[in-house]
């Protein structure tokens, strides 16, 4: 199975980059399933029903999120109607929506997509390790699903790496989101699980993690609030990774970084035969 994962869509620049590049990437790279983190799509904070529908029309199959999932209040009701829009699974049990989704391809293959929120330097929530163990009681690669993909939304690289090591061989891929900076550590962890600490954001990199640089610089120089953070929107960059897994075992065969657009050096995964 060939899985395309796109990191945090940040504001208008990220949305436009997705519209511009996703259809061609999905076609040219022979992608079976496209997973998009959309938690910053709505002006940098949250996501709306309209943007979800836009992303599906571009070719997204599942939309993951993170700690900003509730920033747009309308999403509280919408998420109960859209099972392909998932929020972190380690939120309290009575939280609206679902934390994972079992997606079935046209040919019958199945991929479980799980969204989890880390705890270090993040808002308090249940343990992501314990929640993943609970999910794995029901779903197992090579038995009732062909792949398990985890979007691990968090700040600390150590927590993400520890999670990847702990679940190595039991999930197909663990790719981090949230920091908006793509890391250079994409590899097959222990020869079993595709891993990358952070996929990076999709948006304008002539910025400070996607926001207008002048506002962030002002806050660091003067230690006063200044203007509200506004997403930068002059350049367009799409960042993420392509993972290939074995349909029989669910074990990862390869992971390749993806960067296409302006500002950052491009990284285009190989085109399969």
Q: Which residues are catalytic?
A: 68
HSE of 80 in the Cβ direction (CA atoms, 13 Å)?
7
Cα–Cα nearest to 84, from 59, 108, 118: 59
Query: Burial of 131 by CB count in 10 Å (0-12 exposed, 13-18 middle, 19+ buried)?
Result: buried
Place of tokens 């060939």: 2
* CA-based torsion, 170, 39, 16, 80: positive or negative: positive
Cα 207 from Cα 144, distance rounded (Å): 43
HSE of 206 in the Cβ direction (CA atoms, 13 Å)?
8
Strands, sheet with 110-117, edge to edge from the N-terminal-most edge strand = 100-104, 110-117, 147-153, 173-177, 193-196, 187-189
- Asked if residues 209 and 218 have their Cβ atoms less than 8 Å apart, the reply is no
Report the first-to-last Cα separation within the chain, whole angstroms.
14
Conformation bin of residue 263: beta by default, left when phi > 0, alpha when psi is -120 to 50: left
Query: What six digits make up the tokens of 230?
Result: 């506004």
Residue 127: how many other CB atoms lie within 10 Å: 13
The total number of residues shown for the chain amounts to 273
Helix (H, G, I), strand (E, B) or coil at 28: helix
């Amino acid at each position: 199975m060939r899985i395309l994962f796109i990191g945090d869509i940040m504001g208008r620049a990220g949305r436009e980059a997705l519209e511009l590049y996703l259809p061609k990437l999905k076609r040219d790279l022979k992608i079976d399933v496209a997973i998009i983190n959309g938690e910053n799509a709505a002006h940098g904070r949250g996501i709306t029903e309209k943007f979800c529908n836009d992303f599906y029309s571009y070719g997204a199959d599942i939309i993951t999120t993170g700690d900003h999932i509730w920033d747009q209040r309308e999403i509280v009701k919408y998420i109960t109607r859209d099972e392909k829009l998932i929020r972190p699974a380690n939120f309290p049990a009575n939280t609206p929506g679902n934390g994972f989704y079992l997606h079935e391809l046209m040919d019958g293959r199945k991929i479980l997509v799980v969204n989890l929120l880390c705890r270090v330097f993040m808002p308090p929530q249940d343990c992501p390790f314990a929640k993943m163990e609970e999910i794995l009681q029901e779903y197992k690669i090579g038995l009732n699903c062909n792949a398990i993909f985890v979007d691990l939304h968090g700040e600390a690289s150590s927590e993400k790496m520890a999670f990847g090591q702990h679940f190595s061989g039991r999930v197909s891929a663990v790719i981090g989101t949230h920091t908006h900076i793509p890391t250079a550590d994409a590899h097959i962890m222990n020869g079993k699980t595709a891993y990358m600490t952070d996929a990076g954001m999709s948006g304008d990199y002539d910025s400070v993690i996607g926001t207008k640089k002048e506002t962030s610089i002002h806050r660091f120089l003067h230690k006063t609030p200044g203007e509200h953070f506004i997403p930068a929107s002059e350049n367009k960059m799409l960042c993420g990774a392509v993972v290939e897994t074995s349909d029989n075992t669910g074990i990862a065969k390869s992971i390749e970084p993806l960067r296409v657009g302006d500002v950052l050096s491009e990284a285009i995964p190989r085109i399969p035969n």
